[in-house]
């Protein structure tokens, strides 16, 4: 728990570029984030909201990721669930939330310029 609180504090104070982490102090197991749409893409100026839900088995089990903002992308289900390997088969207990958020940004439509 102490490690999680420290990591969330670090993410809030020094977030990855283009990602904002909103720490819910009442429930650290539910982490909100916002990803900015990159310039020179159809997503420029957009802000894409999401959540990481950390279950009772975290960090042994990965968090579940969801976009709240409706997004059409092969890595995002119709319900908004984020399907990237780091949240599935590539998860390890040592995987940090910073890495998860960067992977989500890179695998989400906000990084696509095609």
Residue 107 neighbours by CB distance under 10 Å: 20
Rounded to 5°, the CA angle 98-15-61 comes to 20
Which residues are known catalytic residues? Answer: 83
Structure tokens at 100: 């998860």
Per DSSP, helices labelled H in the chain are 2-13, 97-107
- Residues 6 or more apart from 69 whose CB is under 8 A from it? 46, 47, 48, 49, 50
């Amino acid at each position: 728990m102490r490690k999680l609180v420290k990591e969330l504090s670090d993410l809030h104070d020094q977030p990855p570029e283009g990602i904002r982490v909103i720490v819910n102090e009442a429930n650290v197991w539910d982490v909100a984030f916002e990803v900015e749409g990159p310039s020179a893409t159809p997503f420029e100026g957009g802000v894409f909201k999401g959540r990481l839900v950390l279950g009772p088995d975290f960090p042994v089990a990965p968090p579940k990721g969801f976009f709240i903002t409706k997004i059409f992308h092969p890595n995002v289900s119709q319900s908004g669930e984020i399907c990237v390997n780091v949240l599935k088969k590539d998860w390890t207990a040592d995987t940090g939330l910073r890495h998860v958020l960067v992977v989500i940004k890179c695998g989400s439509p906000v990084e696509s310029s095609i």
